[in-house]
Structure 1
Amino acid sequence: MGDSESIDEYSEKLTIIGNKLRGLGNTVDDIQVVKKLLRSTSAKFLQITSTIEEFSDLKMKSVDEIIGSLKAHIERLQGFREKDETFFSLMQNGRNERMQNPQRKKGRIKEVLEEAADGVVEDGEAVGEVTGIEEMKESRKLKRRDLTKVKLNVSVPPPNNIIVENSWFLDTGASNHMSGERRVFRELDTFVVGKVRFGDNSVIDICGRGIVLFKCKTDEHLILSQVYYIPKLKSNIISLGQLDETENKIVIENSVMKIYDRARSLIIMVTRQSNRLYVAKLKLADQDETLLVFKKFKISVKVEKGKKIKSFRTDRGGEFVSTVFKDYCENEGIKRLLTAPFSPQQNGVVERRNRTVVEMARCMLKSKEMPAKFWGEAIKTAVYILNRSPTKGVANGTPYQAMFEKIPKVHHFKIFGCLADRSVKTIMLGYEDGTKAYRLLDP
């Protein structure tokens, strides 16, 4: 699909091709047309097509439904662009008027407001009479400060002076989740590239897309997926539109925003700030956990195998290049092997294995219609099963067999998410380490 080609034109082209193939005696199902349509659209549909493929059952989707979703996506983007153009047109008109009339009379409320707000008129706000040079200057400063912060809602990066560590702006004007900080990503696919256009028509590069992992007060983990990595961005942004597309529920009432996941469990609650922004202070999953897990693994290798780890190959993720991790490896005599920046292919074995684990966990959750809060349980179970399954990396064996030199037992395997109803009805989530017991959920 070309960048200048419309959805209607492209869908009509696919329909004609499909009819010709059917006329030649070939079988062309709707699912084939749907997949072709999703995977051959231009880059501007990347976010919506990825969401449909990940969270929808394509077998239940018709071609007309997919076309409708793509059209709705384009209309929404056009609506945002028109608002942005109107906003900046108002600003420019205000500046031009002041340049032409530098000696404006003071004392009239309308003139003071127009000068203080730089051409932006605020509806529904009662402002008292402003008199005196000093009062007018103070009013101008306050208005300009408010105006600078409001720019975030029209997809313009906020200024540097409002960046707060682990703060995420909940934005209705952003089309995608975005972050300019590499350290927040738990996983990052640097092969996903593109460009983002802001309200002032500036364009900056997308250098990857990944997953951000948050830690709740209950020690559970929440996942924010499909997050773009944009190094030049000066803030972290959560797109409410993207959350809504993934069946999350967003409620704003009495100056409080509440966000619920697909299971309608409350995951975020934020009070509106004085500048009319909703900013969530979210805690990232502790990356020091990586060092703790590595220490445990090192000890287990030494105790169980009587061997020492000599080298350790990783990417340049924040958890691996931290000073604490570096100092520990130096003190233990472990040689560090780091991949070149933006070159995940240099660590291809791990990257492919990670993808296998993630896709396996996603399939298990989706097949049993379980909420994302059980992501950690699904990942742990996927790793448990893969370690006891044959792989090309171990000739005629399994990773468990290579580590412990004995054949693993698999007779106790159960289907993830199945019901255990001998006594109290529970849901099977995985296998408990160190015991012959299962991890069960009592709903």
Structure 2
Amino acid sequence: MGRKLFGTDGIRGTANQEPVTAATALRLAMAAGAQFARGPKHNLVVIGKDTRLSGYMLEPALTSGFISVGMDVVLLGPIPTPAVGMLTRSLRADLGVMISASHNPFEDNGIKLFGPDGFKLSDAVETDIELGMEEDPDRIRVDGSELGKARRLDDALGRYLEFVKSSFPRRLQLDGLKIVVDCAHGAAYRVAPDLFYELGAEVVSLGVEPDGFNINLACGATAPELLAEQVRAEGADLGLALDGDADRVVFCDETGRLVDGDQVMGLIASTWKQAGRLNSDAVVATVMSNLGLERCLQGQGLDLLRTPVGDRYVVERMRQEGYNLGGEPSGHIIMSDFTTTGDGLIAALQVLEALVTDGRPASEVLSVFEPVPQLLRNVRFNGGEPLEAGSVQAAIREGENRLGAGGRLVIRKSGTEPLIRVMAEGDDATLIGDVVDDIVQSIAAV
């Protein structure tokens, strides 16, 4: 049976419309709670959220569902996604939940689930939970005397802050550095500025006034133009922008030039290789990572291993084969020595460690490789399977032939939005543009 509710990163959609409704959240909590409960006592789930208005609807619905099957609930409030993974393990919880639609606008929301090990659930487990949601709820409700309880963890942010700080060498400080931090009016709006300030930096904060509606609105990792503008205006040494749930980060150097996750992976891989910290001389990335990164790593005797798009698939490959560094160009950087999922703040500290240790400006430290020309375009569709159309398949075959062995073509459906993503890369920018245009037009015509 295929999954109907879960996509590449949990359940996601327009808030208060199926599947992101209070009713579905309640059934999801009951099914997940029943599956992960260990017995009649000591069943625990932690719930975090970002700053969206609809979090006020989903949080109590999930809480009610878990309580009804006998699980105690710890409410974390607005907190980054990686903190949920960390606190699930730290509190010895049976399950972790993050209410967030990540980089999407406030109208959307979603639900991500973490197992007791702090890792996101596998496809197989999510399928089992969906099956459980179809069961008669009377079969899993507990007696009134066995209901769970709910409480808030007042020091959740403090615990996470100290955890993140522990990833930065004690011998180093950020004294003398001026950093612009864009929190996207999201989950890290309180913890991120405090983190860099406490480590010694002068901090200029952006996106720290959430109102339930402005998360990711013209700010954050998906709209870094504001960040670049402020870095130049402030004469800052570095800028970093998080997304709504702070599991990814993008940077800009002191000139305002934007730096994506591929450059960050290249920097960390090189640094860890020199320090003997990189497991198996390899980095795990997705099919979207730039060919320039692959060539750069090969020049250092390192392999780039590719997975389907989605940080969960990167994590699965890392866990299966023992790698400790992976990520995506969008800024999800996974370092299994520290975390179970992407963590924008820990990734930022790895970059800052390199910056402080090297002593050169960010424009030099973060210029790890020359990217190969790459073009990505999104095509919105209204249902059906446009990629199965004969005309589209013919355009794709023609594009692959034109690119030849020196280029790459990646075409996929988004796991979170009704979009077809068309990406091509190679050494000839003009050819790349022509190939993408032809495929996009063929999809739009279906």
Band of TM-score, shorter chain: under 0.3
The structure showing larger relative contact order (alpha-carbon pairs under 8 Å, at least 6 residues apart) is 2
User: Which one has a larger percent helix, Structure 1 or Structure 2?
Assistant: 1
Q: Greater CA radius of gyration, 1 or 2?
A: 1
What TM-score do you get using the length of structure 2 for normalisation? 0.27
